[in-house]
Amino acid sequence: MGHRFLQAMGLNTLKKALPRAGIMGAAVLVLLGLGTPQPARASDHADPTNLTDPTANITDLFFYPDGDDMILIFDVNRALLAPKPYDLAPYDYEIHMDLTTPLSFQDAAIRARYGGTVLVPDQIHPDVTIKVKLQDDVTLKSVTYTGLKDTDKIKTYFGVRDDPFVFPRFFKKNVIAMVMRIPKSAFPADQHDFILWGTTAKDGTEIDHVGRSIRTQLPRFGFINTMAPKDQLKALMARKAKLDTIYNYLHSAKEWWAVAAADFLQFTLQLRPYDLQPDVMVYTDRFPVGYPNGRLLTDDVVAQTCAFGDCLLQEISFIEGGWPRATVNDKPFTAEWPYLAQQWPDQKPAPSNAHSVLPWVILGLVVLFLVAWAVVEIIRHLIRHLVRWWWRRVDA
């Protein structure tokens, strides 16, 4: 989804600001500090913020077995309805697989949320990389396979298809789909465990990342959206420590508005104890396939994610989709290649948002500046007159 969301301010700045600004000022500083823009503004699928580069936006990553093959589906460009051609030449679409970093499946809670535990997350690396470049008409320009055998047996599809995400906002919309049927013989013999993630880059600069579905759609994860998986756990731990300190300070204050700011911070941005995992997809053949163990096309990931603590998209699906909540795709998937439903007809793109709030923001700042200037001038004149009065008394 992200990117772009809310960077925690440094603790030194907070400690200096709190005594001067008071609790209300601290709350403002928290919101401003956490609102620092991120280098990129994209995330997988239903990110509630606007995207500045939809062609780079990853929407889905699927990985599941089918007989003697593994099915890999990588989708980009959410809410697509415009006709071809698209500007795809600058983009690299990559899927990475780590086949050797060890996994554990002993922790039931982590397995339910993430499919398994990466035992040495700072050693996550790509043993396999599939790099795709597309023509503007969504035909294949090039595909390179690193770390795979029998690549001549890989079956591929590239085109526009129905968006397979079970979420009302993206019903009757399309995506650019990259589908691969990879024989198991392409992987090392007796390969049981997989760690996967996908990225998009424009002109060599990484823009978007996807691992476990829905993860970076949540506001608190936007800051890891362009980090390599091996670096994410350390960054998550550092961010959690900062936000916990801010939350504890505000929540222990006597003013009600400070406590309210703490509650808002907790709901939107504060990292949970169970968040301290790298953003990757785990798949193993030791257990039945299905989210979060890989991902099937039919998985209702919104409900499954909500069952273990993250319900933002569940609420949005009720708000935008009504009752009962949709639990299947708006078009049935097919048993035939390439499995995704046929695309929706091309449409003229809806006009972009017509108005901007920036003029009102500028006006508000100007008014605030003028009021502050007037107050300072009044105080300055009062002080000057008070000083003159005092000296007249002293002279008398």
Alpha-carbon distance of 170 to 21, in angstroms, equals 44
Q: Where do we find the tokens 């911070």?
A: 265
Interval 111-154: pLDDT, tens:
999 999 999 999 999 999 999 999 999 999 999 999 999 999 99
Interval 8-65: pLDDT, tens:
334 344 344 334 344 444 444 444 444 443 433 334 554 433 456 888 899 999 999 9
Interval 80-120: pLDDT, tens:
999 999 999 999 999 999 999 999 999 999 999 999 999 99
Alpha-carbon distance of 5 to 239, in angstroms, equals 13
pLDDT at 339: 97
Interval 260-310: pLDDT, tens:
999 999 999 999 999 999 999 999 999 999 999 999 999 999 999 999 989
Q: Terminus-to-terminus CA distance in the chain, angstroms?
A: 74
Sorted by where each begins, the domain ranges of the chain are 54-231+275-321, 358-396
pLDDT at 54: 83
Alpha-carbon distance of 93 to 70, in angstroms, equals 19
pLDDT tops 80 at residue 5:
no
Alpha-carbon distance of 39 to 229, in angstroms, equals 17
CB atoms within 10 A of CB 291: 21
Q: What is the mean pLDDT of the chain?
A: 87
Q: Which parts of 81-204 are beta strand (E)? A: 91-98, 103-104, 117-118, 128-134, 140-146, 155-162, 174-183, 193-202
Average the pLDDT over 155-179 and give the result: 96
pLDDT at 357: 87
Comparing CA positions, the residue from 98, 95, 207 lying closest to residue 145 is 95
